[in-house]
Amino acid sequence: MKTKKKIIPDPLYDDIKARHVVLFAGAGISTEMAPYGTPTFYDIIKAKARYPAKLPPPPFPDLMQYFCEKVDGGQRNRLTREILDRIAWFSAPGEVNNFATMFHHLVAEISQFDSIVTTNWDPFFERSLNILVPMVEDKDLAFWDDKKKQVLKIHGCVTRPYTLVVTTDDYRSCIQRYPLIFNKLRDLIATKTIIFVGYGLTDSDFRLIFDDITSRLGSLRKLAYAYDPNASDESIDFWRERGVSVIKEPGVALLYELRQRLEKDGLKPPRGLTMFMDRQAERIRNIHHKRSSLSSPGAFVSAMYQDGLLHSLNKVLIYDYLGESNDLAKHEEDLTQTLKRMLKKRDVKEIAYYAGRLEIVKRFNARDSSRIPAYFDMDRFKPSHTFRAYLTPSHVSQVSRSIAPGRRSRPR
């Protein structure tokens, strides 16, 4: 049986695992991706500007400059409105938005991608990665945090129309307008491996970006990688001589293979496990609400246990969603020790609660997707699939003391 060829070279995979990469994303992974990105924004503006057909197609910023001069008397208002309308269409809920943000959501699942640079104007990366402050202007850098995912938007954002880098004049002035943003870009490029996705290697935009990088770092720059499914053999040879390894695959193929390899190496929980945990959270929540009105000792103990389940489920799912690293093995050890202390104290409320917390973390670390017990048996001090309204007399008295007036349960 023929082995499937890896599309992520081992040196690049090693850099990704070590978080030594910068993901450099262009419009080909969002609004300009076929089929919904056809016709492209370039084609739309070219038609509206009535650019002479007899002339060769101009570079992207030159065409945008031509549109402003011919259609809007040199002003930027109409071009900005065209950009806003384009992105608004992709932002509306539905299939078009799902397609345009598919890449972004996949990136959000990979914690190893913590530095993302984009020339895109849309807000899809920061929304998908739950980033409140994307780096668009110099003053935003006050909130840069190396411990969290960051998005550097070197061509501005539609949420701040005055920052958009679109025309030839914009390209010439953007570095002077936001010197700190571009200093951060140089720092990332100088210290990490670049992965280009969403760019055609013949695009003028790609050439402008790469020329800027090479002119600043020269032969000391690291080998860069570019994923372009439409690259020609001539283009691949051309860029190889300039320090770019071209892989003829789309960006999403990179992310799918990366997820598989990280899961295989135990560096990423399987998607099936997180989906299972999400369904179990909904199931436990429903049971918790149904039993919350019951006043029996068994209901109270199970409610505290369910609180623990839900708190840990929420924790592991949020960490996975945010793509943040989290030492759950150490967390399991800490919870185990805490539960032992509660057992010595015979603190019924805390025993049930921490048993629930530990149950989820143990299962997550063990990649256990079997059905989670929804109740707690205080006679055996174990999670149970069966609800018992009443316990042994000794446990009834213990629980009664735990819920006596003035003893409040944990906040939910």
Q: How does residue 20 score in pLDDT terms, banded at 50, 70 and 90? A: very high
pLDDT tens sequence across 254-288: 999 999 999 888 888 888 888 899 999 999 999 98
Residue at 298 is within a domain = yes
Residue at 61 is within a domain = yes
Identify the residue with better confidence: 73 or 215. Answer: 73
Residue at 408 is within a domain = no
In the predicted model, is pLDDT for residue 298 greater than 90? no
Residues 258 and 317 occupy one common structural domain: no
Residues 342 and 297 occupy one common structural domain: yes
Q: Among 107-116, 133-142, 196-205, 229-238, whose mean pLDDT is lowest? A: 196-205
Question: How many CB atoms neighbour CB 340 within 10 A?
Answer: 11
Q: Among 119-123, 135-139, 292-296, 401-405, whose mean pLDDT is lowest? A: 401-405
In the predicted model, is pLDDT for residue 356 greater than 80? yes
Residue at 19 is within a domain = yes
Question: How many CB atoms neighbour CB 264 within 10 A?
Answer: 10
Between the CA of residue 171 and those of 10, 130, 209, 286, 368, what are the distances in Å?
A: 36, 29, 10, 55, 52
Residues 276 and 221 occupy one common structural domain: no
Identify the residue with better confidence: 254 or 396. Answer: 254
Domain boundary among 221, 244, 264: 264
Give the pLDDT confidence score for residue 322 in this predicted structure.
59
Residue at 5 is within a domain = no
Q: Is 383 helix (H, G, I), strand (E, B) or coil?
A: strand
**Cβ contacts of 149 within 8 Å, gap of 6 or more:** 113, 114, 115, 116, 129, 131, 322, 323
pLDDT tens sequence across 338-352: 999 988 888 888 999
User: Residue 189, Cα to own-chain centre: how many angstroms?
Assistant: 21
Give the pLDDT confidence score for residue 223 in this predicted structure.
86
Give the pLDDT confidence score for residue 412 in this predicted structure.
42
Residue at 412 is within a domain = no
Residues 125 and 17 occupy one common structural domain: yes
Domain boundary among 237, 264, 291: 264
Residues 166 and 77 occupy one common structural domain: yes
Q: How large is the average pLDDT for residues 280-298?
A: 80
Q: How large is the average pLDDT for residues 143-153?
A: 93
- Overall domain count for the chain: 2
Q: Which two tokens stand for residue 304?
A: 């505290």
Q: How does residue 1 score in pLDDT terms, banded at 50, 70 and 90? A: very low
Residue at 108 is within a domain = yes
Residues 196 and 276 occupy one common structural domain: no
Residues 300 and 327 occupy one common structural domain: yes
Percent of the chain scoring above 70 in pLDDT: 86
CATH number at residue 253: 3.40.50.1220
Give the pLDDT confidence score for residue 66 in this predicted structure.
97
Give the pLDDT confidence score for residue 219 in this predicted structure.
62
Identify the residue with better confidence: 294 or 199. Answer: 199
Residues 206 and 328 occupy one common structural domain: no
Q: How large is the average pLDDT for residues 375-403?
A: 70
Residues 216 and 295 occupy one common structural domain: no
Residue 332, phi then psi, degrees to nearest 5 = -65, -40
Residues 298 and 374 occupy one common structural domain: yes
Q: How does residue 353 score in pLDDT terms, banded at 50, 70 and 90? A: very high
Residues 142 and 73 occupy one common structural domain: yes
Residues 322 and 293 occupy one common structural domain: yes
ω into residue 411 within 30 of 0, thus cis?
Answer: no
Residue at 410 is within a domain = no
* Residue range(s) defining the domain that contains residue 345: 271-402
Average pLDDT score over the chain? 87
pLDDT tens sequence across 195-253: 999 987 766 666 666 676 666 666 667 889 999 998 889 889 988 888 889 999 999 99
Domain boundary among 264, 299, 316: 264
Give the pLDDT confidence score for residue 227 in this predicted structure.
95
DSSP H helical ranges for 323-381: 328-345, 348-366
Give the pLDDT confidence score for residue 257 in this predicted structure.
96
